[in-house]
Amino acid sequence: MSPRAFGHEPISFRSMTPAIKALVVANVAAFLVGQVVGDQFYQLFGLVPRRVLQERWVWQPVTHLFVHGGFMHLLFNLFALWMFGMPVESQWGEREFLKYYLICGLGAAAATIALSPGSGTPVIGASGPVYGMLVAFAMLYPDAVIYLYFLIPIKASHMAILFGLIEFFAVTEQTTPGIARLAHLGGMVSGYLYLRWWWVLKLKAQAGTKSMLSGQPRAPRAPRRSDPKGVEEPDSLLAEVDRILDKILVSGLESLTEEEREVMRKYSERIKH
Question: Is the separation of the CB atoms in 42 and 69 below 8 Å?
Answer: yes
pLDDT for the residue 219: 42
pLDDT for the residue 269: 61
**CB-facing half-sphere around the CA of 44: CA atoms within 13 A:** 8
Residue type present at position 224: R
Question: Is the separation of the CB atoms in 123 and 47 below 8 Å?
Answer: yes
Does domain 18-193 fall into CATH 3.90.700.10?
no
Question: Is the separation of the CB atoms in 84 and 130 below 8 Å?
Answer: yes
User: Which of 194, 166, 175 lies closest to 104, judged by CA?
Assistant: 194
What percentage of the chain's residues is helix, strand, coil (to nearest 5)?
70, 5, 25
**Residues facing 155 on adjacent strands:** 145
pLDDT for the residue 177: 57
The distance of Cα 271 from the centroid of its chain, to the nearest Å, equals 21
pLDDT for the residue 197: 81
- Exposure string for 180-199, b = 16+ CB within 10 A, e = fewer: bbbbbbbbbbbbbebbbeeb
Rounded Cα distance between 55 and 113, Å, is 13
pLDDT for the residue 220: 46
Give the H or E element holding residue 148. strand 145-148
The domain ranges of the chain are: 18-193, 216-272
Question: Is the separation of the CB atoms in 19 and 97 below 8 Å?
Answer: yes
Rounded Cα distance between 260 and 257, Å, is 5
Q: pLDDT tens per residue, the chain (273 residues)?
A: 444 444 555 566 677 889 999 999 999 999 999 999 989 999 999 999 999 999 999 999 999 999 998 899 999 999 999 989 999 998 888 999 999 999 999 999 999 999 889 889 899 999 999 999 999 999 888 888 888 777 788 888 888 888 888 787 776 766 555 567 788 888 999 999 998 887 667 666 666 665 566 555 444 443 444 444 444 445 566 677 777 776 765 666 667 787 887 777 776 666 544
Question: Is the separation of the CB atoms in 144 and 154 below 8 Å?
Answer: no
The answer for residues whose C-beta is within 8 angstroms of residue 74's C-beta and 6 or more apart is 27, 28, 31, 68
pLDDT for the residue 251: 66
What does the H/E/C string look like for 230-256? CCECHHHHHHHHHHHHHHHHHHCHHHC
pLDDT for the residue 77: 93
| Helix 127-140 with 71-92: angle, nearest 10 deg | 40
pLDDT for the residue 231: 43
pLDDT for the residue 101: 96
User: Which of 67, 73, 76 lies closest to 40, judged by CA?
Assistant: 67
**Residues facing 147 on adjacent strands:** 153
